[in-house]
Amino acid sequence: MAINILLQLEVILQGASWVGALDMAGNVWEWTNSPYDSDSFVLRGGSWYDNQRNVRASDRIWDNRDNRYYNVGFRLVSPIFLSPDSDSE
């Protein structure tokens, strides 16, 4: 059964990690910059296509970066820069 509900971010804050990160697992396997061997790199996190046991940030597999799959991607991370006139507290 599919559930099609669009939630505002504030609704799911109880699922934040200890550093405040959200949505760390379950969308796609994510490439890391950690080499497994000379040809392969580590993927983390599981995807929507996997069973429940694999959908966690600590789950890891490996593959060659030349391969492409519909359930593998990457995460973009950027620091937040506040303008001098914005409230920082």
Residue 56 lies in a domain: yes
Residue 89 lies in a domain: no
**7: pLDDT confidence band, cut at 50, 70 and 90?**
very low
Residue 62 lies in a domain: yes
Question: In terms of residue numbers, what domain contains 52?
Answer: 24-73
pLDDT in tens, 56-66: 878 889 999 89
Structural domain tally of the chain?
1
pLDDT in tens, 13-32: 566 666 777 666 667 888 98
Please calculate the CA angle 14-18-21 and round it to the nearest 5 degrees.
70
CA atoms within 13 A on the CB side of 81: 2
Residue 33 lies in a domain: yes
Q: Is the pLDDT of residue 9 over 50?
A: no
Residue 17 lies in a domain: no
